Structure 1
Amino acid sequence: MNASRLSVAPMMDWTDRHCRFFHRQISRHALLYTEMVTSPALVRGGAQHLLAYSDEEHPVALQLGGSDPEELAEAARMGAAAGYDEINLNVGCPSDRVQSGTFGAVLMKSPDLVACCVAAMKRVVDVPVTVKCRIGVDDQEPEKILPDFITRVSEAGCDYLIIHARKAWLQGLSPKENRDIPPLDYGLVQDMKARFPALGISINGGVETLAEAEALIAQGLDGVMIGRAAYHRPWDILSEVDVRLFGASPAASSRAQVLDAMRPYIAAHVAEGGKVHHVTRHMLGLYAGQPGARLWRRVLSERANQPGVGAELIDEALEAMDQPDRLAG
C-alpha cells in the first residue's frame, strides 16, 4: 500500500508527536511527517529526543534539514535506526533561519549538492530517501530548472519527490506569505510526472479537500500532501482517506471514537509530567464546521494550561458544546 497517496505535510510547531498520534486515530494509512529536524541538532547537538515517537504513528517519515552530505547521512542513519519509515530532505522551507543554515528552499539553487546529500543518505539507510522541494526560487524559471533538478536528484537515488507547486521568494516575502502569495502551478508538476514516469511524485500546496486530492491523483500524480487543511480540519480531511484512497476500512467511525483513544494518551502524558495543552492544542479543529465548535475550541484553549487539568478536559469541552448556555457571556 502506497502511504504517499495521501500524506500530512511536515509543519514546524504543529506536526509534533502528539499531533501525529491524534491524526493516526483518524487515519491508519495516511503518511505522517515529523516537523523538520536539522541534521546539526541531531549529529552535533545530540538532540536525539527529537526522534521520539509512538509506535502507533507508523507509517511516519522523518524530515531532515541540512546541506552537509556526511552529516545528513549520519542523521538519516539515526532516523532509520529509530524506526522511521522514510527519510525526507527539506528543499522547500523559505525561512530566514533555514537560509542562514544553507538548507531548505535555497538548495533549489544547488541541485548537485542536493544530489550529493541524497546519495550520501541512500548509502547508509535501507528505507526510502525522499525530497520535498519547490518548483523554483526567486528569479529561477521553474519550467527550465525543475527538470534538471529532478534529473539530478533521481539519478542520485531519490525514491520519491514531493513538489510544493509554488516558487519560494527568499527575499521580500515572509515564510507565511510564501505559503499563499506565489501562484500555484499544478500543471507544471503534472508535466514533471509525465516527463519522469518512473519517479513517484506527490503534489503539495493549496489542496483543501479530499475530493481535490482524488482529482489530482486521477490526473496521474502518485499522491497528494495536505498541510494546513489537514491540521485545521482533521476530521474532514482524514476520516474518509482510508476508505477512499487506500481501499481499507475507516480508522474511526466517529469523532467520539477518536476521543476515546485520546483520553488515555493524554492521561499518560500528564502522568509523565507533560501538560494537557501539549496534546489538546492539536485537537482544536476536530469539530470544525460543527455546531458548538467554537465552544469546543474555547474550553480547550482556556483551560488546558490551568494547574491540575487532565484528560477530563475533553469531557468538559464536550459538555460545553451540549450546554452552550453554561459558557454564555
Structure 2
Amino acid sequence: MMDWTDRHCRYLHRQLSQNALLYTEMVTSPALVRGGALHLLDFAPVEQPLALQLGGSDPAELAAAARLGAAAGYSEINLNVGCPSDRVQSGTFGAVLMRSPRLVAECCAAMIAAVDIPVTVKCRIGVDDQIPEEVLPEFLARVAGAGVTRFAIHARMAWLQGLSPKENRDIPPLNYALVQQMRGLFPHMHLSVNGGVETLDEVEAFLDAGLDGVMIGRAAYHRPVDILGAADRRIFGASTPDRTGEDAARAMLPYIEAHLSAGGRLGQVTRHMLGLFAGRPGARGWRRTLSEGAHLPGAEPELVEAALRSVMREGADADLAL
C-alpha cells in the first residue's frame, strides 16, 4: 500500500471505523535512521490504533527505527516481509526476506529488545521456487523463536522473477487452506490472513473458522464504506450506528480546512476519498468532480460539498425512480 495509506487516507478510514487497526505505508528504516525523514512518522492521534510498518534488513537499524516509532506514539511496529516491489528487492527487504528467516528473526529480536510495544510481521507464504508447505511453518517457527507472536500472512506466493508488483497481487493463486493449517500448527500465535478479501462476510467467515484477524488492503481503499462502515458493529460488536459515505465526507471537511490552512492542497486529501460512494448512484459524478477540480489552483472544501450535494441528489432521484 505504498503511496496509498498515508496520513490523509488513514484519517479518512478512521471516520468510518473507530476500532480497525490501521497501518502506515511501509517506511524504510534507512529513510528514518540515516535519512532523518522523521516527517514520515507524522500522524493525528485520532488515527490510533495505528501500526508503523517498517521495511529493512539490518537489525541495529531496524531497532533504531522501531525506537523512533515507539517514541512517536505508535501502537505497534510491523516488519514487512511481504512486499514484492522492485524498490524493496533492491534494498534487500520485503518479500525477498522470506528466503532469510534467520535474518528476519535477528531483526525482530533487535526490535523487540528496543521497544515496549508489540513487534509483528507481515509475510507471504513463500517466494519463487520455494515450497510453501515447507517454507511457511519453518519461517513462522524461526521468527516466533525471536519473540514475535503476531503474524499477518498474505496467502499468496510472491514471484520475484517474472511478475510485476501488480501481477503479484493477483496472479499467484490464493492458498487460504495453508494459512488455516498454520492456525492448527501454532495455536498460541495470533494469525491474520491477508490477500483477496473483498467483503465483511468473508471476514466473518475467516474469524468463525478460527483465525484471529483479517488484513484488507485494496478493497478497503477502493470501497471503504463497504469494508469499514459496518465493521465496528459486525466485527467488533459495537453498538454505534454504521457509518456512511456522507458521514465520512462531512467529517473530513474540518480536516481539509486545517490542511489547506497549513499550506496543503485539496487533492492530497480528496484522492483518497474517490471511493466513498462506490456502487451508489452518483459515484461517477463524485469521482469526476473531485478528480477534475481538486488539483486546480485555489481548490477549496466547497468542491467537496458541491460533489456531496450532487451525490445526494442522484441518490434521491434513484429512490424516486424505484
Q: How does 1:48-197 map to 2 (within 5 A)?
A: 48-197=38-187
Q: Once the two structures are superposed, what CA deviation does each residue of 1:136-181 show, in whole Å capped at 9, x if it has no partner?
A: 0000000011111000111101130000000000000000000000
Q: Does 1:27 find its partner at 2:17?
A: yes
Matching residue's letter, 2:247: Q
Matching residue's letter, 1:168: A
Greater mean alpha carbon deviation, residues 173-182 or residues 93-102: 93-102
* Alpha-carbon distance in 2 for matches of 1:86, 1:323: 42
Q: What residue in structure 1 maps to residue 265 of structure 2?
A: 275
Matching residue's letter, 2:171: I
Alpha-carbon spacing, 1:174–1:52, altered in 2? closer, same or farther (3 Å): same
Q: How many residues align?
A: 314
Q: What residue in structure 2 maps to residue 327 of structure 1?
A: none
* Alpha-carbon distance in 1 for matches of 2:191, 2:274: 31
Q: Once the two structures are superposed, what CA deviation does each residue of 1:225-250 show, in whole Å capped at 9, x if it has no partner?
A: 01111000000110111011111133
C-alpha contact (below 8 Å) 2:230/2:242 kept by paired residues: no
* Alpha-carbon distance in 2 for matches of 1:322, 1:247: 29
User: Shift in Å at residue 308 of structure 1?
Assistant: 1.2
Q: How does 1:2-41 map to 2 (within 5 A)?
A: 11-41=1-31
Greater mean alpha carbon deviation, residues 288-297 or residues 242-251: 242-251
Q: After TM superposition, where is structure 1 displaced by more than 6 Å over at least 4 residues in a row?
A: none
Q: What residue in structure 2 maps to residue 240 of structure 1?
A: 230
User: Shift in Å at residue 255 of structure 1?
Assistant: 2.6
Secondary structure, in 3 states, of the residue corresponding to 1:282? coil
User: Shift in Å at residue 36 of structure 1?
Assistant: 0.3
* Alpha-carbon distance in 2 for matches of 1:95, 1:288: 28
Measured on the aligned residues, the alpha-carbon RMSD in Å equals: 1.1
**Structure with more contact order per residue of length (Cα contacts < 8 Å, sep ≥ 6):** 1
C-alpha contact (below 8 Å) 1:27/1:251 kept by paired residues: no
Q: What residue in structure 2 maps to residue 215 of structure 1?
A: 205
* Alpha-carbon distance in 1 for matches of 2:239, 2:7: 24
User: Shift in Å at residue 260 of structure 1?
Assistant: 2.2
Q: Does 1:258 find its partner at 2:248?
A: yes
Q: Does 1:287 find its partner at 2:277?
A: yes
Which of these residues, 183, 194, 209, is aligned with residue 204 of structure 1? Answer: 194
> What TM-score does the superposition give when structure 2 sets the normalisation length?
0.96
Which of these residues, 274, 290, 302, is aligned with residue 300 of structure 1? Answer: 290
User: Shift in Å at residue 322 of structure 1?
Assistant: 4.9
* Alpha-carbon distance in 2 for matches of 1:276, 1:68: 38
C-alpha contact (below 8 Å) 1:108/1:134 kept by paired residues: yes
C-alpha contact (below 8 Å) 2:78/2:122 kept by paired residues: yes
Alpha-carbon spacing, 1:322–1:149, altered in 2? closer, same or farther (3 Å): closer
Greater mean alpha carbon deviation, residues 272-281 or residues 256-265: 256-265
* Alpha-carbon distance in 1 for matches of 2:308, 2:296: 18
* Alpha-carbon distance in 2 for matches of 1:150, 1:122: 16
Secondary structure, in 3 states, of the residue corresponding to 2:278? coil
> What TM-score does the superposition give when structure 1 sets the normalisation length?
0.94
Greater mean alpha carbon deviation, residues 22-31 or residues 304-313: 304-313
C-alpha contact (below 8 Å) 1:239/1:250 kept by paired residues: no
C-alpha contact (below 8 Å) 1:118/1:129 kept by paired residues: yes
Unaligned runs of 5+ in 1: 1-10, 325-329
* Alpha-carbon distance in 2 for matches of 1:209, 1:143: 27
C-alpha contact (below 8 Å) 1:130/1:158 kept by paired residues: yes
C-alpha contact (below 8 Å) 2:122/2:154 kept by paired residues: yes
Matching residue's letter, 1:318: L
C-alpha contact (below 8 Å) 2:256/2:301 kept by paired residues: yes
Greater mean alpha carbon deviation, residues 243-252 or residues 307-316: 243-252
Greater mean alpha carbon deviation, residues 279-288 or residues 243-252: 243-252
* Alpha-carbon distance in 1 for matches of 2:312, 2:279: 15
Matching residue's letter, 1:105: A
